[in-house]
């Protein structure tokens, strides 16, 4: 595919976080862009405001004629979340259009750049957002495709130059096998997406295959303890890149950062949780490969604001704290629990969790129960199906039966506000990767007013 010969790009599933970043990229380089998504969202509304045509019904007649009538100059991009029986997908498939997965297009866009790719079952979005922030703050001109909305850029996409690129290497559907990075990291390899891989061993084998896609002379950074060969990073251990002597002052981590060649003292980082410290450390290590002075990178670490829905403080007062997080896997829930316990000890915490996918809930039910039972007060929403059909017997009620929290209940979205007020927590947590994120601003508005 030669991008210069593409005049317009049509996206099936344009509202997804990764798809929307690609859509913005093509609009930025002056291609005509349009697309379909099943639901309107803040992301789609923003794209419409920027001039991208989007509709919400699977209807060929809703697609502008110039996209349907020019097979030679129209690229169609789709997400694996879209069913192969989708009417628009079938139209383009059967009429000779160039159709590519999002991951293929991302691989083509970045293959000629100095590509920095962040892989791992957890931490990709935060790590890649920190990495993009560090490079931007130290003057490295790059393009960044992020899996979340960076609070530093207020966007999931940044284009300041094309010599360098920052991408998330997504293991879902083996998408990261389309990338050829110069520098990569693997943050974690916990079992996930077993609907795709079948078992944890196959997932691990695929991560190993991904690491072999590094360009000649490329560098791999690996969290200490993972069964991969590369430069290691960790906290208070024997890693090549290591954080030591951690202190917490006014909610900020202060620590020493050691690399194979130097030691930086008094480095600051503001995102709670040891998992986020590790994300910041590997982002620092990767950013060093692009050449900025280490002391400038360390200074930039201190100014990283965060990513929407990644331990995001929505309200933070003396009397009430509201944190929203994307956590949708037991390991991520454990990380959130540890961060809350470290930053807000001995406070009454209320958690509202929306399970994501029937298959994930089934495959990790006992692990979910164990991680969620760490919280004394637990409210569950119904399972968010995303791309899946229901699985018999797999429900939030079934999961709730495995949870041992002192207080546990299933609620509807309509009950959220009244339940929060009934419990009157010092710390409120909303967690999940489904549409619970759409409730966050409603909660913030109501609880700010109540306070």
Structural domains counted in the chain: 3
Q: How confident is the model at residue 80 (pLDDT cuts 50, 70, 90)?
A: confident
Q: Are residues 120 and 267 in the same domain?
A: yes
Q: Specify whether 22 is located in the same domain as 143.
A: no
Q: Is residue 216 part of a domain?
A: yes
Maximum Cα interatomic distance, the chain, rounded to a whole number of Å? 63
From 278, 301, 324, give the residue that closes a domain.
301
pLDDT tens across 122-146, in order?
899 999 999 999 999 999 999 999 9
Q: Where are the alpha helices (DSSP H) in 231-377?
A: 274-288, 294-301, 330-343, 358-363, 365-372
Per-residue model confidence as pLDDT tens digits over 238-293: 999 999 999 998 889 999 999 999 999 999 999 998 999 999 999 999 999 999 99
Q: What is the pLDDT of residue 215?
A: 96
pLDDT higher than threshold 90 for residue 13: yes
Residue 201 maps to which CATH number? 3.40.1190.10
The answer to whether position 355 is within a domain reads: yes
Residues 6+ apart with CB under 8 A from 321: 313, 315, 344, 347, 426, 427, 428
Of the three residues 68, 101, 134, the one that is the final residue of a domain is 101
Average model confidence (pLDDT) across the chain:
93
Residues 235 and 120 both lie in one domain: yes
Residues making up the chain, counted from first to last: 451
Rounded Cα distance between 32 and 6, Å, is 9
Could you tell me if residue 106 is inside a domain? no
Residue located via tokens 């393009």: 143
| CATH code (residue 75) | 3.40.50.720
Task: Confirm if 384 and 436 have CB atoms less than 8 A apart.
Answer: yes
Among all chains, which residue has been given the structure tokens 């829905």?
Answer: 309
- Which parts are annotated binding residues? 120-126
Q: Examine the domain organization and report whether 284 and 322 are in the same domain.
A: no
The 3 state secondary structure assigned to 374-418 is CCCEEEECCCECCCCCCCCCCCHHHHHCCCCCCEEEECCHHHHHH
Q: Does 14 map to a domain?
A: yes
Token pair, residue 80, equals 């694996």
How large is the average pLDDT for residues 183-198? 76
253 and 275 together in one domain: yes
Kindly report, residue by residue over 366-399, the tens digit of the pLDDT. Answer: 999 999 999 999 999 999 998 789 999 999 999 9
Q: Are residues 202 and 331 in the same domain?
A: no
Task: Compute the distance between CA of residue 38 and CA of residue 57 in angstroms, rounded to an integer.
Answer: 6
Q: Helix or strand or coil: residue 3?
A: helix
| 116, 181 Cβ separation under 8 angstroms | yes
| Same-domain status, 259 and 374 | no
pLDDT value of position 191:
62
Q: Do residues 291 and 158 both lie within one domain?
A: yes
On whether residue 359 sits in a domain, the answer given is: yes
Sign of CA dihedral 389, 390, 396, 398: negative
At 198, is the pLDDT very low, low, confident or very high (cuts 50, 70, 90)? Answer: low
Residues 51 and 23 both lie in one domain: yes
What does the alpha-carbon distance between residue 129 and residue 188 come to, in Å, rounded to a whole number?
A: 17
Range of the domain at 77: 3-101
Q: Tell whether 31 is covered by a domain.
A: yes
Are residues 246 and 148 located together in one domain of the fold?
yes
Asked if residue 230 belongs to a domain, the reply is: yes
- pLDDT at residue number 386: 85
* Residue 307 within a domain: no
Query: Which residues fall in the annotated binding site for ATP?
Result: 120-126
**Residue 4 reports pLDDT greater than 60:** yes
Q: What is the pTM of this model?
A: 0.84
Do residues 227 and 147 both lie within one domain?
yes
CB atoms within 10 A of CB 151: 16
Q: CA 33, CA 45: separation in Å to the nearest integer?
A: 14
Q: State the CATH number of the domain containing residue 420.
A: 3.90.190.20
Distances (CA, A) of 247 to 268, 269, 341: 10, 11, 15
Where on the phi/psi map is residue 120: left (φ > 0), alpha (ψ -120 to 50), or beta? left
> Rounded distance, CA 175 to CA 355, Å?
23
- Residues 290 and 199 reside in one and the same domain: yes
Question: Within 13 A of 43's CA, how many CA atoms are on the CB side?
Answer: 27
Domain boundary among 101, 126, 143: 101
């Amino acid at each position: 595919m030669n991008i210069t010969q593409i005049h317009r790009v049509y996206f099936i599933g344009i509202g997804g976080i990764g798809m929307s970043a690609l859509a913005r990229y093509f609009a930025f380089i002056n291609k005509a862009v349009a697309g379909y998504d099943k639901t309107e969202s803040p992301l789609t509304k923003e794209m419409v405001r920027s001039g991208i045509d989007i509709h919400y019904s699977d209807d060929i007649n809703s697609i502008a004629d110039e996209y349907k009538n020019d097979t030679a100059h129209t690229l169609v991009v789709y997400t694996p979340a879209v069913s192969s029986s989708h009417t628009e997908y079938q139209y383009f498939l059967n009429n000779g259009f160039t159709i590519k997965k999002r991951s293929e297009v991302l691989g083509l866009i970045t293959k000629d750049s100095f590509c920095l790719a962040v892989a791992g079952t957890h931490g990709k979005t935060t790590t890649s957002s920190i990495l993009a922030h560090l490079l931007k703050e130290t003057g490295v001109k790059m393009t960044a495709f992020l899996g979340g909305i960076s609070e530093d850029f207020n966007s999931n996409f940044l284009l300041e130059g094309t010599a360098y690129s920052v991408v998330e290497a997504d293991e879902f559907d083996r998408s990261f096998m389309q990338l050829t990075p110069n520098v990569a990291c693997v943050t974690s390899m916990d079992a996930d997406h077993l609907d795709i891989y079948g078992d944890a061993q196959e997932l691990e084998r695929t991560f190993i295959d991904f690491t072999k896609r590094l360009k000649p002379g490329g560098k791999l950074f690996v969290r200490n303890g993972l069964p991969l060969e590369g430069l290691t990073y960790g906290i208070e251990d024997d890693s090549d890149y290591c954080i030591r002597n951690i202190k917490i002052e006014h909610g900020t981590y202060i620590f020493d950062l050691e690399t194979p060649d130097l030691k930086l003292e008094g480095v600051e980082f503001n995102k709670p949780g040891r998992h986020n410290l590790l994300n910041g450390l590997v982002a620092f290590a990767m950013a060093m490969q692009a050449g900025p002075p280490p002391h400038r990178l360390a200074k930039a670490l201190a100014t990283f604001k965060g990513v929407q829905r990644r331990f995001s403080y929505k309200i933070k007062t003396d009397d009430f704290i509201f944190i929203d997080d994307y956590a949708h896997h037991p390991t991520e829930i454990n990380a959130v629990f540890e961060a809350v316990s470290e930053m807000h000890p001995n406070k009454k915490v209320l958690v509202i969790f929306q399970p994501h996918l029937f298959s994930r809930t089934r495959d990790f039910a006992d692990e979910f129960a164990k991680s969620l039972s760490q919280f004394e007060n637990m409210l569950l929403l119904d399972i968010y199906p995303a791309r899946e059909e229901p699985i018999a017997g797999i429900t939030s009620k079934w999961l709730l039966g495995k949870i041992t929290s002192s207080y546990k209940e299933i609620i509807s979205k309509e009950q959220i506000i009244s339940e929060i007020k009934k419990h009157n927590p010092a710390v409120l947590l909303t967690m999940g990767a489904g549409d619970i994120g759409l409730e966050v601003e409603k909660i913030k508005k109501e609880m700010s007013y109540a306070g």
